[in-house]
Structure 1
């Protein structure tokens, strides 16, 4: 495991239930210049206990390649935590974005 991977996972583990962060926010917190690196690391994650489902794109959209079951499973997990959606695939960022 690389230091970058560990840093990203540490930030993701701090996202509370009912909140989400964008790939860009996670990248900024870990001083990574390219938010896609965050996506690649999350896709490589093998630990289903890490709340990767709480990371979405900057528009609030779910991850088409969510590693633990695709966007439908990601949505299911977020809804169980009380996250509201403005449409089928978009989180209500006004209510749930961690700032």
Structure 2
């Protein structure tokens, strides 16, 4: 029996992966934004879980997903934070006070 507490069904997973793959270079999307676009507005944490569990060899641009405050969700001291910031910076995304301007860089699907 499937656990009904925040289940991540296959269709939702596929929609999220498709959306992430659609985020253009130099743009970002928020976890909640992706959940809304996938038809599950209250599932931003599920989006985070999917990203956390991406296969190591995934080519999805996971680094383009940030939180609704325009921040990278990893701890600023972490290697993953540095990796994500480096990837975004290489795409032309500018950080000011460790934040990305959503007004400037948010993908409008």
Size of the alignment, in residue pairs? 95
Q: 2-side partners of 1:92 and 1:80: how far apart?
A: 16
For the aligned residue pairs, the C-alpha RMSD in angstroms reads 1.6
Kept in 2, the 8 Å contact 1:63–1:70? The answer is no
Larger radius of gyration: 2
Unpaired stretches in structure 2, ≥5 consecutive residues = 1-8
Q: CA deviation at 1:4?
A: 1.8
SS in 2 for 1:95: helix
Structure 1 moving runs of 4+ over 4 Å: none
Alignment of 1:1-99 (within 5 A): 2-32=10-40, 33-46=42-55, 47-64=57-74, 69-87=79-97, 89-99=98-108
Q: Which runs of 5+ in 1 are unaligned?
A: none
Q: Structure 1 length normalisation: TM-score? A: 0.87
> CA deviation digits over 1:12-47, x for unaligned, max 9?
000000000000110001012221110001111114
Q: When the two structures are superposed, what TM-score results if normalisation uses the length of structure 2? A: 0.80
